[in-house]
Every structure is written in structure tokens, then in C-alpha cells.
Amino acid sequence: MSVSSRIVLLPLVALVASAPARATVYLSIEDAQQAMFGAAAMTAQPLTLDAIQMKAIEKASGVPVRGSLVRVWRAADGGWFLVDAVIGKSELITYAIGLDADGRVKQVEVLEYRESHGGEIRYPGWRKQFVNKKAGDELRVGDDIQGISGATLSCEHVTDGIRRLLATWALVLKPLA
Amino acid sequence: MNRLRRARPWLGTLVEISVASDLDTPRLLAAVEAAYAAIAAVHGTMSVHEPASELSRLNRSAHLAAVPVSPGLLTVLRAALAFAEDSDGAFDPVVGGRLTALGLLPASEVMAAPQATWRDLRIDGDQVRFRQPLRLDFGGIAKGYAVDLAVEQLRAAGIAEAQVNAGGDLRVFGLAPQRIALRDPRAPSQWSQIVELHDQALATSAPYYAAGSSPSALIDPRSGSPYAGADSLSAIASSCLVADALTKVALFATPSRLEALLEQHDAQLLIQRCAD
């Protein structure tokens, strides 16, 4: 339905059921370690925070500490590698952060992004809704969607998570080194 | 074809880069790094949330004396001012004062006048001067610009096919069209439509994530009123900067101004209208 040649009104069909939940795996833990530390050997050093440490990290970072377990690896070059997960409005993001021996951020990589509401494609007539499709292009049900556009979703949970991990490093991991 | 997909937090959102190419993995990785470096540079220069950014420094001092700015900032500023003029202020990068007054941006040292507009700004060569204290905010345009720069890097590296998606504002290139789903404004974790893009950019503005500290607060720069509609507005254009700005223009511009801007930029607007 066109309002003009440049403005197209897209009909919103009845919301029958969920479209597919978006779940993307970007990197495995091993791949992220290699991306950040190359061939340097990585040693797992899982950390369990006590109540006092959790309080101190909360105070230093201004971010609530919800779990006591921190997934930590030490690189042979003295760097650190931490894996964490944060929950946003409707998404679960697992990410890794690499720190050099002095606690400076080398790199942040999202490992996995998952939107929670799952389900099947159940839109009646959804195949008619392709927009901006060139004549002759074939589209089949089940073809992958290659991206999603929408209002920008804030990633403040990730930036909060990074702040919490940096405080964890400064207060707990650095003194261990 | 060698494929790679990465996501990193930048510009207040997650920026995803997907590439496919015959290049070997080290060169593919180098191209993706260069693209992220371009995005990081835009974040470092144009974030209003980073007190040390060039934009924040400009906002602190340009009402006192003319300030020389970098070519990148000047490019975005000129583009933003053109959209402000052509939309009669429906889009205005000087909206920062209003956003601050409404608590949608953190307070800054300089009290920006909420009623200041793009007309209070002068550019002379690479020098920028404010006629009164004001706060530029490139929230409606910097993400698109960063996506464009990242795409340039990927193209220059010889990547055959790519998508750069900054939290919903995206651009694609390659031989084959790419299928992009639009979030359903009634249930944004689901999608409702599919758009095919071929060497194009697509950006969306919609109110469903606009609450709280979202980077996409939708405020009429002229009145300070929030966007009252429920529609989701997506723009398709040749550059992501233009697509990004047009979705903001479309929220508040008069129909004739909007039509003229779409025509001028050879762009298309897609409206997902919520009946209720």
C-alpha cells in the first residue's frame, strides 16, 4: 500500500505467534581467546566471590553483582580473559573481555546474542510481505534473514557488565597476580 | 567463500559486522578490525556521553570562541544542519539542550539553552561557533555515519559482501540482495516484515525502546514533546547517514517537507502503522 511513490504503508498482520527468536553465536570461548591473545596459553582460573568482595565490586562499579562465580582465564603473557552474561529487556548477551597485564581493555567480543521470545513463523501470508524486492528474485520460506532493523536497542547492560568486570579485576584479580 | 560475523558494543548499542569474501582469514579479520576501528573513532569523536570526545569539548567551549573541528565531525555537522534546514527543524542536532533538560542526557558543565536551534550555530571553514550555549547531539545521525565509514573500510579491503548493523541501523553491499527483517512495533522481539536491500542502507525509528536511557529518545526538537505515535518508521537510502536522519525527520516533519527530502535523497520511507 503506497501513500506516495516514496512513502509505503506496510500492513501489520494479526499477531498470531512469535517469529523466530534471534539467536546468534559469534564466537566460541576458544576462538575469542585466540582472537585476543593469539597463541598464548590460557589457564582457567575460575573465581568465586565472597559476600564482602561482591559488596566492594558493587560499590566500586555502581553495578549490582548478581552472581558469585566469575569465569576467568589467565593468559601466558599476563593478560586476563573474562566471560560474562548480561540480561537486557528481552535479550541475553554473553560476551568476553580481554585485559592486558595492567588491566587495560584489549578487546570486547560478543560471543552469543539471544532474544528470548521463541517460536515458529506463523504469519499468514508472510511471504507476500517482502518489501523492496526486485522482480525475478526468488524467495523461499526458510531462507535466512540476514539482519534485523528496528529502533536501537541500548547495550547499557553490556557496558555496565564491563564496568563490573573491571572493578572485579581491580579489587580481586589484580592482587592475585 | 570465507565468512565472518562479529558483534561489539559501540555507539551505545551492539554493532554487528558480517562479511563474506574469498580473502583468506587473516585479511578478512584485518578488514573487520579496520571497520571497527572506524566505528570506534566515530564513538570517540562524536559521543555526547563521553566527556572527552571532540563533540563534548565543542559543546563546552564553542559559545565562548570559535573552535576548529576535525574533518569527520565537520562532515556530520554539515549533513545534520542541511537536514535541519530542509526539515524546518523537525530534525535538529541542537536537540541536546532539550534532551538534557528532560533528563535524557546526563547533565554537562555548560547549561545549554533548551530552546537553542541549529540557527544558533555558525561554521566558517573548519571553525564552529555557537551564538549561545547549546548542546549538539549526533544521536540521530552518528550511528549511520559510522556504519557508512565501516562499509567504506570493508569495500576498500576487497570484501565481496557485507552487512554492518549498528543496533538496527544498517547497510549492506554485495552481489546478491540481503533480506532484512523489520521488528514488529507491537512486539519488538518479533519481526513483521522483510525488506530486501541491495547496496542500500536501512534505518528505523520507533518508540518501543525509547524509554529510559535508550540512545534513541524521540523528541521533537522544536517543542521538546516526545513522539506520540506508535508507528515504526524505516527509511531506505543509499547511505546509512541519510537513512538514519530521514527516520528522525519523518517523526516530526510536515508531509510536504518529508516528501521533498525523500525525493532529494532518492529514498523511501516504510511505515508500520499500529492501528490502536
- Give me B192's grid cell: 513483521
- Give pLDDT tens digits for B74-96: 999 999 999 999 999 999 999 99
Residue B126 pLDDT greater than 50, yes or no: yes
Q: A40: Cβ–Cβ under 8 A, 6 or more apart, which residues?
A: A75, A76, A77, A79
Taking contacts as CB-CB distances below 8 angstroms, the residues of chain B near A90 are: 188-189
Strands B187-197 and A69-75: unpaired
Whole-model pTM above 0.95?
no
Taking contacts as CB-CB distances below 8 angstroms, the residues of chain A near B258 are: 7
Overall average pLDDT of the B212-237 stretch = 81
Q: Is B16 on the interface with A (CB under 8 A)?
A: yes
Which among B11, B194, B264 is the top mutation candidate for probing chain A, defined by the most A β-carbons within 10 Å of its own β-carbon? B194
- Give pLDDT tens digits for A97-115: 999 999 999 999 999 998 7
Residue A39 pLDDT greater than 50, yes or no: yes
Overall average pLDDT of the B104-118 stretch = 89
Residue B271 pLDDT greater than 80, yes or no: yes
Overall average pLDDT of the B225-254 stretch = 93
Identify the pLDDT of residue A142: 41
Q: Can you tell me the ipTM of this complex?
A: 0.86
- Give pLDDT tens digits for A123-163: 434 434 445 544 444 444 345 678 888 887 778 889 999 99
Give the three-state DSSP class for B159: coil
Q: Is B143 on the interface with A (CB under 8 A)?
A: yes
Taking an 8 Å cut-off on Cβ atoms, the answer to whether B268 and A6 are in contact is yes
- Give pLDDT tens digits for B169-214: 999 999 999 999 888 888 787 778 889 999 999 999 988 876 544 4
Residue A64 pLDDT greater than 70, yes or no: yes
Identify the pLDDT of residue B103: 86
- Higher local confidence (pLDDT), B148 or B115: B148
Q: pLDDT category, A2, cuts 50, 70, 90?
A: low
Identify the pLDDT of residue B22: 95
Distance from CA of A55 to the nearest CA of B (A): 25
From A5, which residue of chain B is nearest by alpha-carbon distance? B268
Residues A79 and A52: beta-carbon distance below 8 Å: no
Partner-chain residue, chosen from B167, B215, B270, that has the shortest CB–CB distance to A8: B270
- Give pLDDT tens digits for B31-65: 999 999 999 999 999 999 889 999 999 999 999 99
Q: pLDDT category, A29, cuts 50, 70, 90?
A: very high
Strands A69-75 and A42-44: antiparallel
Q: Is B30 on the interface with A (CB under 8 A)?
A: no
From B29, which residue of chain A is nearest by alpha-carbon distance? A35
Residue A119 pLDDT greater than 60, yes or no: no
Partner-chain residue, chosen from A95, A134, A145, that has the shortest CB–CB distance to B198: A134
Q: Is A69 on the interface with B (CB under 8 A)?
A: no
Distance CA A6, CA A19 (A): 28
CA angle B8, B13, B18 (to 5 degrees): 45
Identify the pLDDT of residue B216: 54
Taking contacts as CB-CB distances below 8 angstroms, the residues of chain A near B170 are: 147, 149
Identify the pLDDT of residue A149: 86
For chain A, domain boundaries:
23-117+153-176
Residues B242 and B144: beta-carbon distance below 8 Å: yes
Taking contacts as CB-CB distances below 8 angstroms, the residues of chain A near B259 are: 4, 6-7
Q: Is B262 on the interface with A (CB under 8 A)?
A: yes
Residues B58 and B65: beta-carbon distance below 8 Å: no
Distance from CA of B86 to the nearest CA of A (A): 17
Partner-chain residue, chosen from B184, B194, B274, that has the shortest CB–CB distance to A130: B194
Q: pLDDT category, A10, cuts 50, 70, 90?
A: confident
Identify the pLDDT of residue A96: 97
Partner-chain residue, chosen from B18, B194, B274, that has the shortest CB–CB distance to A145: B194
Q: Is B144 on the interface with A (CB under 8 A)?
A: no
